[in-house]
Chain A
Amino acid sequence: MALTQPSLLARGNPLADSSAQRRILNTSRCKPFEDRLLESGLAPLAATGITVFQINVGKLCNQTCRHCHVDAGPDRKEIMDRETAELCIRALAATDIPTVDITGGASELNPNFRWLVERACALGRHVMDRCNLSVLLLPSQADLAEFLAAHRVEVVASLPYFRAAQTDAQRGDGVYEKSIRALQQLNALGYGREGSELVLNLVHNPVGAFLPPKQDAIEAQFRRELMLQHGIQFNYLYTITNMPISRFLEFLVDTGNFERYMERLVNAFNPAATSGVMCRYTLSVGWDGTLYDCDFNQMLDLPVANGVPRHIRDFDPAKLHHRRIVTANHCYGCTAGAGSSCGGAVTP
């Protein structure tokens, strides 16, 4: 039986407040991240441009995964409205940023999701949808897979493991079985099939307080097992380290794993991974239009800083392209081991 619970907000948990999370992260015994950057000659960390325009369309989700860094769930009402979505498209149109990465929550449940996809495609941009898979089986989303295929949207699907016990422990009872059905639905449309242009990538998060395996090793296991058990194909698998924030932070604190996990991240600090972290080439837009260096900073309410515009209505690529990145101790999550980003491991 999985131990998923409602969102932190719904439970009135103090960690629903990002300042409480930041306080815990700051009191960790680990060396401050900024000091570690200085020691490694990597400070200040700065953007190298914007090649990924990531839009978080809100916290509404049909699942309440135990590790969720968004504290998303069915109870969350914060979603991007049409006016803000239009500002995103206007900003995109003023640039040649090639990739639009749409995330949530379950981004597809936002009534403006399909509009955003259509407009971004019309601008000739490559669109990625970070999909929890089970959303494809909701009656209201019966035509979603066909919509994604018709617009050549790259699907980046969460599947922590190729077995039900681990997947359901993280994402909720029955989620593995639904995920498999959704993957089969996508495969049937050509997603992930050899020779097809429809790209289906999987995301693996560790089911607990430890680092992910080497990406190529676990990808080979997934490929073998999913084919053997379910006849499922996919393109690539990305490993993503669990960030010590939000509901995963709650898990770490409640189970007495927080300091050990932080120590693991700090000891695995990898300067090479730091050079390639996603905040250096990504701009993250929140559901209300606020701009961030990444989706994790977004959840900690750490917007872009150092004199650059903070809202999509004031979007100014010249100022944002080489902005200084806002960092804190949670950033150790992206710099540990092979590194971690929305596109998986940063180094081989």
Chain B
Amino acid sequence: MDTYYHSHDLGRFAEMGKGNKDLWEKFSSYYGAVFTAGALTEREKSLIALAVAHAVQCPYCIDAYSQTCLEKGSTVEEMTEAVHVTCAIRGGASLVHGVQMRNVVEKMSM
């Protein structure tokens, strides 16, 4: 069955440079700088990236950052907790909008 997502397309990411080399190079340079150790370690940044990958539900990013987290020395327990952070924030973001629902209900109700 055909699918929009192919795992081997991840390796073709750099082909995005063909449409606009300058923007691609700026993005690549920025991307590389972001993931270099600074106030946060490379390992910590990879765990954040894994959590964000789940928030944006990008299968390429999940694949890439699962491997990267392992290669930075993280355990599956740490990675699982990172995904729970995603889940909590996403779930919380839905739930907190319930206050808006309550505002509407309160305004309309006797």
Contacts and interface: CB of A to CB of B under 8 A. Distances in A.
Interface of A: 161, 163, 166, 206, 208, 210-214, 217-218, 221, 263-264
Nearest to B7: A260
B93 to A, nearest CB: 32
A217 B43 contact: yes
A213 B73 contact: yes
Contacts of A214: 42, 72
A208 B70 CA distance: 9
Given A163-B75, A221-B73, A213 B67 contact: no
Interface of chain B: mostly helix, strand, loop or mixed: helix
Contact of B71 (A163, A212, A263): A212
A166 B70 contact: no
B70 A206 contact: yes
B41 A217 contact: yes
Interface of B: 11, 41-43, 67, 70-73, 75
Q: Sort A-B residue pairs by CB-CB distance and give the 9 closest, nearest first.
A: A213-B73, A210-B70, A218-B73, A211-B71, A210-B71, A213-B72, A210-B67, A221-B73, A213-B71
Nearest to B72: A213
Nearest to A221: B73
A217 B73 contact: yes
A217 B43 CA distance: 9
Contacts of B41: 217
Contacts of A208: 70
A264 B70 CA distance: 13
**Which of A163, A214, A218 counts the most B-chain CB atoms under 10 A from its CB?**
A214
Contacts of B11: 263
Contacts of A163: 75
B75 A213 contact: no
Contacts of A264: 67
Contacts of A263: 11
A233 B23 CA distance: 49
A217 B42 contact: yes
B36 to A, nearest CB: 12
Contacts of B72: 213-214, 217
Nearest to B70: A210
Nearest to A337: B71
A214 B42 CA distance: 10
A166 B11 CA distance: 29
Nearest to B74: A213
26 contacts: A161-B75, A163-B75, A166-B75, A206-B70, A206-B71, A208-B70, A210-B67, A210-B70, A210-B71, A211-B71, A212-B71, A213-B43, A213-B71, A213-B72, A213-B73, A214-B42, A214-B72, A217-B41, A217-B42, A217-B43, A217-B72, A217-B73, A218-B73, A221-B73, A263-B11, A264-B67
B26 to A, nearest CB: 23
A161 B43 CA distance: 16
B92 to A, nearest CB: 30
A217 B68 CA distance: 14
A208 B66 CA distance: 12
A321 to B, nearest CB: 36
A214 B41 CA distance: 11
A186 B94 CA distance: 55
Contacts of B70: 206, 208, 210
A221 to B, nearest CB: 6
A217 B70 CA distance: 13
Contacts of A212: 71
Contacts of B67: 210, 264
A39 to B, nearest CB: 19
A214 B11 CA distance: 23
A213 B70 CA distance: 8
A79 B1 CA distance: 53
**Which of A163, A166, A206, A210 counts the most B-chain CB atoms under 10 A from its CB?**
A210
A235 to B, nearest CB: 19
Given A206-B71, A210-B70, 20 more contacts: A161-B75, A163-B75, A206-B70, A208-B70, A210-B67, A210-B71, A212-B71, A213-B43, A213-B72, A213-B73, A214-B42, A214-B72, A217-B41, A217-B43, A217-B72, A217-B73, A218-B73, A221-B73, A263-B11, A264-B67
